[in-house]
Structure 1
Amino acid sequence: MPTSTRIKSTRSIALINKLIASSVFILIGSGLFGQPNKRTNHWLFSYNVYLDFSSGYPVERTGCAVDSIAWGSTSSISDTNGNLLFYADGWEVYNKNHQQMAETATPYDGNGTQSALSLPKPGSDSLFYVFTANMGDYVYNQPLNVYHTIDMSLNNGLGGLIDTDTLPGAWDAAEQLSASYFDDKSGYWILMRKYQEDKFAAYRVTNQGVDPNPVLSEAPHRYHTNSNDQGFLKVAYNKKYLVFLYTVWDATSSEIDICRFNNQTGEIEFLYSFALNEIFLGTTYYRTYNGDFSPDSRYLYVGGYLPFYNLAHIFQFDMKFVEDEAAFIASMIKIGEAPAINLQLAPDGKIYCFSSKLLGPADDIVSVINKPGKPGLACDFQPNAFATSIGDIQVPFVNFPPDFLFRFDFEGQCEGDVFSFDPWFFP
């Protein structure tokens, strides 16, 4: 299904009204998935940073209880009206009043790059899962990935833990953790990376719970004995492709894996790898820690971080060439530079690029890609757009299921003109 439908209007606007009415019906009729982007209104991450997108743009708030200086991301989730429910890091879960849910402290080192991910249990209005991912530092420990079940009907709506379980098939999975809803919206895949067995793992989650037996797919070898492959896994919003971004902190192994994804079966097909340092600088300086897709999946954005300069070069890749390695790499355009290591699409349709004080005196600077669906410099990259004043931005960031960030926009006039609809909600 194409991501954009163009329609020539006539003097009669009956067809337009019918189409708009159908679109409204689709949005209202999405049931549990209604207004999914409001689930990402609240961003709470280390160190005590809280951004609230409820007004349509980021507003700083106080109260965030995440105060660990660590390398793992957090996960926050709101209800479909945009009200904060809870948030979590790799160790603890906090309610909307920023109080720890007493039973959720864990002895496990849930400190992977994407250390937590929160989603509703399919078919339930009150139950939620919080999945965790460990570090991949196998010299000192072996990962033990757990997931918590939270019941939001407990404690007068503040929620409470009712179960904690492990994913035994993910005994060597670490760092990367994301999700993708099934096409029929009946459940979703939890996606992870197994490092010692060189496999991609997809766990099926339905109203029956979490299937402990993952769908396994072959992955390229990336096991390191003295360091771990930190970095993010991002799912294209059309659910067709995945990108794994890796950084070993000596900066000699920073690479990007491009994969094809079958959202029906959970199978992941590795296509190819490349490194920004090889194709742009010709050096080993780049660290490719994070990236994100435009909401329409037309473009991939990647930050190539230069640790000696506390600076990142931000690149755009054209996804229409993704099946052709040479053409995809050749499509790369540098759209700007700023102290930015983390990229994340927000509910306002913009991609925010965050610095990190763990890697240099970044002064909590935030840059913005204002129009990520536009090609090249038309994407309107705005370096140093603003700086946060509450808390300190560390390497950890917020981890959201990509399905919660679909939007719906259109361009053009209603009569006598061509206009374009872009379905950014669940297709």
Structure 2
Amino acid sequence: MLKKIILILTLFLITVGSIYAQKEQYNWYFGFNARLSWNSTRTLTGTGVYGTANATLTGLPLQFPGSAMQTYEGCFSTSDADGNILFYSDGITIWNRNNQQMVTGLSGDPSSAQSGIILPYPETPGKYIAVTLGKDNSNNLSYTVVDMSLNGGLGGTVPATTNVALTGQSGALGESVFAVRHTNKEDFWIVAPGRTTTTSYLNVWKVTSAGVQTTRYSVATVSIGFTSLGANGYLKFTTDGLHYVWADFLSGRLVYGDFNPTAGTITNVKIRNTYPLFPSNPNRAYGVEFSPSGKYLYLTQAPGSLNTNQVSGLVVYDFAALLATSNPNSINPVKTITNPVSLADGVTDHFGGIQLGPDGRMYISRFSSTGMFVITNPESPTAMNIYKLLNFLPGNGYWGLPNFAAPWFRMELTPPANAESCANVSATFQLSIIPGMGLSNVSRIVIDFGDGGTTTYNSPLSSLYSFPHTYNKPGIYTITITAYNATGGVEISTSSTMTINSCAMRVNPQVSVRAGT
């Protein structure tokens, strides 16, 4: 009899997971008690609209009950790097992760399009800056510091840092505010439009490790005036922080141009009248968002009232064409959708705010509804796949979606699909590059596997790479991903460990094969 003693050791254990996950935008709180989270996902049937066929959609965020907030428009939230919610706000009240009031009486307003935004306090882990702004021409841009070490880790406000006014602005501030990270990766810029009856302005403030510089840092003039300083639309920046768009709700114009995140200055200011979807009332530009690459600009336009004589709409522009032209009004949309108000399922089919999700899809609020719209391919607007998601929320959405600061780019490494691989066996890895600030500076990305092997990708970079690597010996290895700029400086470097065990087959040398056994 042939006798063998076979020992198979535990196989290939990888502990990398997702490197540099940056899940600060994984939890959305908005509307009347609506909450979505990308920490858990689900599969649903999307009802195709405007020529899109029905489809099964995977990886959609899971709904969670429990939000204490009720807001028609302004809202913002932040999570930690692992995607755990820290706090959220409508601009007046901040609630902690247990849905308890942390502070109230802030300068924002639930009827402000962007009632605020949250920044990490530069070089001070565990502290955050909540910037808040009221509606119409309230002119009350302020900040409040939140310290997450207070109240047993639930967070609290720092004394003497509640509703501290930002000053020196030109024009009356109201409803529109955004924040962009400085190229030094630590500081931030706060940007808010100011309006008068003759001229408008884009005001900029700086935030450093010393705190918010409450005196305005820079300003750009916009040659449009306003007969009314009432409702306003969204201000957004491209993910690289180099360009911006401000949609003014009442005048029906887009203001856009260039931003220098190193100098904190706005240049190349241009103006385009919004596309006339509504012959009886052609204004009402409201939500704006960029595709992940920044190539396309999405604009939602809202009617003045919700009745059967009005429509809302979605307009998509080639943003590079808008930037390049000397006559912005000559650039027509690459895609236009008009959305008649209907009561087919008991609610109005009405576009509200539009926001890019952590999954690269675009989500659009559906007024007074537990449903939403989702665009699954925002980089292909002429072949747009847009779906209605019914009963998607635990509460009702209205106009607004959460306001998030422009993120730094990130790199995520996905381990081999077959985790039970062995030393001396080729395994396939995937590197995802998610656009954001700093990516335009990257000339190459180097993956060091910790065993002397490396893989390099040079600019221009793709969003996804799939590549093999073989570890020849069991052991614990540190894998490091480093993004370098053209001068050899490091933009981002991140690492994690992986443990590789062997798959060994051992045979007892004393056992032999004999005839007849």
The answer to whether TM tops 0.5 is yes
RMSD (Å), alpha carbons: 3.0
Q: C-alpha displacement at 1:109, in angstroms? A: 5.2
Residue by residue over 1:85-112, the C-alpha shift from the partner in whole angstroms, topping out at 9 and shown as x without a partner, is 00011111000000001x4433775753
**CA–CA separation in structure 2 for the residues paired with 1:109 and 1:52:** 24
Partner of 1:394: 398
CA distance in 2, matches of 1:231, 1:327: 19
Aligned pair partner of 2:35 in 50, 57, 66: 50
> Is the aligned partner of 1:243 residue 2:245?
yes
Among 246, 255, 258, the residue aligned to 1:257: 255
Gap change, CA 1:408 and 1:176, over 3 Å in 2:
farther
What amino acid is aligned across from residue 169 of structure 1 in structure 2? Answer: G
Q: Structure 1, unaligned stretches of length 5 or more?
A: 1-23, 29-33, 358-362, 411-418
Deviation of 1:266 (Å): 1.3
Secondary structure of 1:156's match? helix
Q: Which amino acid aligns with 1:66?
A: M
Amino acid at match of 1:67: Q
- The corresponding residue for 1:293 is 290
Unmatched 5+ stretches in structure 2: 1-15, 41-58, 340-349, 415-429, 440-517
Q: Deviations over 1:55-112 (max 9, x none)?
A: 24221111111124x4x411100000000000011111000000001x4433775753
Note the C-alpha offset of 1:286: 4.6
Q: 1:23-34 alignment to 2 at 5 Å?
A: 28=19, 34=20
Q: Tell me if 1:168 matches 2:172.
A: no
Shift of 1:226: 4.3
Cα offset, 1:383, TM superposition: 3.4
Task: Give how far 1:131 is off.
Answer: 0.2
Change (3 A) 1:204 1:304: same
* Structure-to-structure mapping, 1:183-202, within 5 angstroms: 183-196=183-196, 198-202=200-204
Partner of 2:299: 302
Equivalent positions of 1:269-348 (< 5 A) are: 269-278=267-276, 284-306=281-303, 307=305, 308-309=307-308, 311-321=311-321, 322-326=323-327, 330-334=331-335, 336-338=337-339, 339-348=350-359
Any idea what the Cα deviations from partners look like across 1:138-157, whole Å, max 9, x if unmatched?
Answer: xxxx4222211000001111
2:25 is matched with which residue? 40
Structure 2 Cα separation of the partners of residues 48 and 223 of structure 1? 37
C-alpha distance in 1, partners of 2:110/2:371? Answer: 27
Identity rate, percent: 24
Q: Does 1:373 align with 2:379?
A: yes
Pairwise CA distance, 1:293: 0.3
Q: CA deviation at 1:291?
A: 1.4
Secondary structure, in 3 states, of the residue corresponding to 1:320? helix
Give 1 or 2: higher strand fraction.
2
**In structure 2, C-alpha distance between the alignment counterparts of 1:108 and 1:53, rounded to whole Å:** 27
Query: How far apart are the structure 1 equivalents of 2:317 and 2:363?
Result: 17
The one-letter amino acid of 1:291's match is V
What residue number does 2:208 align with?
A: 206
State which structure, 1 or 2, has the greater radius of gyration over its C-alpha atoms: 2
How many Å apart are 1:202 and its aligned residue?
1.2
Report if aligned partners of 1:39, 1:404 keep a CA contact under 8 Å in 2. Answer: no
- 1:377 aligns to what SS in structure 2? helix
Hey, what does 2:43 align to over in structure 1?
none
- Residue pair 1:300, 1:318 contacting (<8 A) in 2 also: yes
Counterpart code for 2:361: K
One of 55, 63, 66 as aligned partner of 1:63: 66
Aligned residues of 2:302 and 2:313 also touching (Cα < 8 A): yes
User: C-alpha offsets along residues 106-142 of structure 1, whole Å, 9 cap, x if unaligned?
Assistant: 37757532111011101111110000112234xxxx4
Looking at structure 1, the residues matched to 254 and 393 of structure 2 have their Cα atoms a distance apart, in angstroms, of 33
Report the counterpart of residue 480 of structure 2 in structure 1: none
TM-score (norm 1): 0.78
Assess if the C-alpha contact under 8 Å between 1:42 and 1:77 holds in 2.
yes
Residue type matched to 1:304 in 2?
A: Q
Aligned residues: 371
- Structure 1 residue 371, shift from structure 2 partner: 1.2
Q: For the structure 1 residues 311 and 209, does the alpha-carbon distance in structure 2 shift closer, same or farther, using more than 3 Å as the test?
A: same
Q: What SS is found at the alignment partner of 1:265?
A: coil
Counterparts of 1:136 and 1:226, CA distance in 2: 9
Q: Which has the higher helix share?
A: 1
Among 340, 365, 376, the residue aligned to 1:354:
365
Amino acid at match of 2:256: I
Q: Deviations over 1:335-368 (max 9, x none)?
A: 54442121100001001011223xxxxx343111
- SS at structure 1 position matched to 2:382: helix
Using the size of structure 2 for normalisation, the TM-score is: 0.65
Describe the shift of the 1:198–1:327 C-alpha distance in structure 2 as closer, same or farther (beyond 3 A).
closer
Q: Distance in 1 between matches of 2:194 and 2:282?
A: 26
